[in-house]
Each structure stands twice: as C-alpha cells, then as structure tokens.
C-alpha cells in the first residue's frame, strides 16, 4: 500500500516538529484590502504605506494595523473639520418662514412700507 500523504518531518530527537508557519507579514494589494475589509480601489485612495519590491507593492501588516488605529482616531466625518461653516457667510440664521431672504439693500425699506 502506498501512502499519498506526506510524512511529518522529524527533529533530531525523533519527535515530530510540525510547527505551523507564521502568517505572511507582507501582503499583496488584494490581501491587504481583504485584511482591512475594504476594496482595492478604496485601499489605493486611502494612501496606506507600502513597500515597492521590484514592480510589486507589498503592504506590511504592522503598517496596516498602525494606519487603521490612526484612522479610527481621526473622527467620524473629516469634512466637518475641513469645511467649517462660517456664520457670517450664511447670514447667521435661518428665516422663520424657511423661505429665501431678500438680499438687496432696499428690502428693509420695502418691508417697512408694506407693514
């Protein structure tokens, strides 16, 4: 009878030494995106650090973990801090009627005349 399974390697002491290999530290673009749970396009847009080895982009798990930790502390909406609303540019208030406001100089005089 021939066996099709590989025999475990034996150490010097005759005991089996079937230690599993550690997970790969360097990931391809697809593996890095899957590791973070995002698509490859979003990974490229986020600007995660990678190492260029020849023509390949290799993402380090340690760098991905550090990037994700930093990303979590940025806040929920970055646009809120990038584009602050200035009260003087929006008039500082909202009209009670919810409609548009008159914006020409004689609007106050016209409103007084109608009252």
Domains of the chain in start order, with CATH, are: 24-84 (1.10.10)
pLDDT number for residue 92: 57
**Whole-angstrom distance between the N-terminal and C-terminal Cα of the chain?**
108
pLDDT number for residue 54: 92
pLDDT number for residue 16: 61
> How far out from the chain centre does Cα 21 lie?
30
Q: Which residues of the chain have pLDDT under 50?
A: 2-3, 6
Token pair recorded at residue 56: 């390949």
Residue that is written with structure tokens 């109608």 in the block? 114
pLDDT number for residue 109: 76
| Phi (first) and psi of residue 27, to 5 degrees | -115, 150
pLDDT number for residue 111: 77
> How far out from the chain centre does Cα 80 lie?
16
pLDDT number for residue 97: 57
pLDDT number for residue 64: 93
pLDDT number for residue 83: 58
């Amino acid at each position: 009878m021939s066996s099709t399974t590989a025999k475990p390697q034996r150490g010097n002491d005759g005991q089996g030494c079937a230690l599993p290999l550690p997970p790969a530290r360097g990931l391809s673009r697809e593996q890095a995106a899957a590791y973070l749970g995002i698509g490859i396009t979003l990974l490229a847009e986020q600007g995660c650090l990678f190492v260029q080895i020849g023509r390949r982009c290799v993402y380090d798990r340690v760098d991905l973990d550090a990037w994700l930790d930093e990303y979590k502390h940025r806040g929920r909406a970055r646009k809120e801090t990038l584009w602050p609303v200035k009260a003087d540019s929006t008039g500082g208030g909202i009209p009670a009627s919810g409609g548009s406001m008159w914006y020409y100089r004689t609007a106050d005089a016209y409103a007084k005349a109608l009252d």
